[in-house]
Structure 1
Amino acid sequence: MSKNICTIIAKNYISFARTLCSSFLEHHPDGKCYVLIIDEFEGYIDASEENFEIIRIDELGIPRLPEFCFKYNVTELATATKPYLLKYLFASVNMDNILYLDPDILVTHSLDKLYEALEKTDIILTPHLDRDYPDDGLLPNDGHIMLSGIYNLGFIGVRKCENVNNFLVWWQHKLYDKCVVDHSAGYFVDQKFIDLAMVLFREITVIYDTGYNVAYWNIHSRNIRKENDIWMCNNDLLYFYHFSNYKPEKNVLSGHQNRFSLENLPALHELFLVYTELLQLNGYDVSAKQWPYGYGKYSNRKTIHEIERINFRKIVPSGTVVNPFNLESHPVYLRKAIFKAKIWRKARSLIYNLMVKIKPNK
């Protein structure tokens, strides 16, 4: 049975992809890794020197690709391409199944059980929680999970079959225009749609083993420790840890939680130190801090601001602008909207700075 994983990055995340793939191959030396790089990496990455196969975004067959890359920020774009990548791999590579893992994951043990699960079911997922949060007023809380989705899509396993093909086509359709962070509208990138998929598709299995997809959102119910050089979680093995929102230079568990600190979790702190060292060995200090995002600027080198992407999504009919990265090709009404957005952004900044200056000392 083939052992394959895939992940998605912008080029500045290459150290994360290298670390993920090396950790996977350590436990699956005959396995294969596929990395989708969503922006241009020529001159930054030599594909022949990597231990994974690189896939370019223009290989995925995404309709109106420049529009797709412009209307989403880097996080939205990376998550929106997920079903396209999975469908592409099934169509172009001879494989029966594949695991998707976010690039900021470290594999700490064999994932054989997951591949075995895919012999009996079509889709495997892990939930954010297996135990409720305490009522301690700290973060994250159940509201965070209700907003972001029951399942964490930093991991998904799928096998090649008609049911999965139908699921991926459905997911592609949803994510083409709606892969956004818009809690008021009920959207949270690719993830929230899986709550719907659970009732729209069959043969989906939830993996409840606490050793998979351990992260800041479930660490309140996980006991991480090391026994005889083997990473453990609760009463069993730790299979992979998800370092979501971790920034090595800050050395905190996550900016999205305040319930725990690494200093109070010595075994987990050791795992974070190991991971940080691996990232640095794989080029983190150069790639993460110095390499630019390929879709961050217009063709005239001006920065694309988030509000401009939002305006484009909201007011420009799909297919109207062939190359949104060329400002001259934007319709007049879009340029006016962008101009107003810039004025409003500057006004908000000015108001905020004035309020800070006149804020009374306590």
Structure 2
Amino acid sequence: MPSVLDTLAEHSDNPSSFLALNSGNEYFRDDRFDGACAYRRSGRYVFQFGGPFTAPEHRARLLDSFVKETGPRLVAVQLQRADAELYAAHGFTVNQIGASYAVDLSRFTLRGSRFVRLRNKISRARRAGLEVAEVQHDDDCSELDRLDDTWLRDKGRHVKELRFLVGQRTGPLQRHRRLFVGRIDGTAVGYITYSPVYGSRPGWLHDLSRRLPDAPPGVMEALNATAMERFVADGADWLHFGFTPFTGLDDQHELPDASRTFTRFARLLADRGQAIYPAASQLEYKEKWAPHAVLPEYIAFLGRPRIGAVWRLLRATNAV
């Protein structure tokens, strides 16, 4: 049977699907066809990531098998619109929970008045001595471990590193990712990792970033601009900035049977939930790049939505 990675490359149209391979995830399979469902447990709940990864003609049957295996406390997150409609047809309550953002690299440019501030930040970092290099997966990255430790300490003793719905820098699949590191006077001050994206908008996913607290302004922008230039030269089609919860919420994206209660809850978190999840700062960074596509993403509850399930999801991501 093909590996989960091969299955994603063949069948996934979710720009964040590579995150299904994160350490700590489990996989459900049905021997009748090539496919997999990625998930992890938190408390009494099972959280599925990204829908059933399989050929279109098998998606409904794989979902049926997975539901029978997991029971009534199944919650699916980061579903695309086609997934959302499939889950709604199978009795799930489906609501928009956020959006993902992507730049068409064939139209990418930093020229023009709208990017003046972005160009200035990049120039400022380069004047400070920033040098950007792509690092290979088998290089010594111990300096980045120390950067991670400093970054996390600066966030405060109660803050934990996010997981599940974000990328990771280590593990056996790192050879499939790309890693760009920024250094000043030989010291790493920031990095960004990118994961492969398959499907109708293939390219790369900006999936994890870190910077030293005292790094000069513009470091992350300069890192990403360098990576985008490299991706364009390599012939990549899209750069995805990934999913941000509680952003891009719009009534026109909701399915007909969406829960009004959950809609109000999501809007409340969008307005006042910065302490729970830093959506506003993430969105500000992504919008700097003038994304060409904003894709709604969904959460699906088997039965009615439960606030307790949302709490357990936040626990699974280490957000609380």
Per the normalisation by structure 1, the TM-score is 0.28
Which protein, 1 or 2, shows the higher relative CO under an 8 Å CA cutoff with sep ≥ 6? 2
TM-score by length of structure 2 reads: 0.30
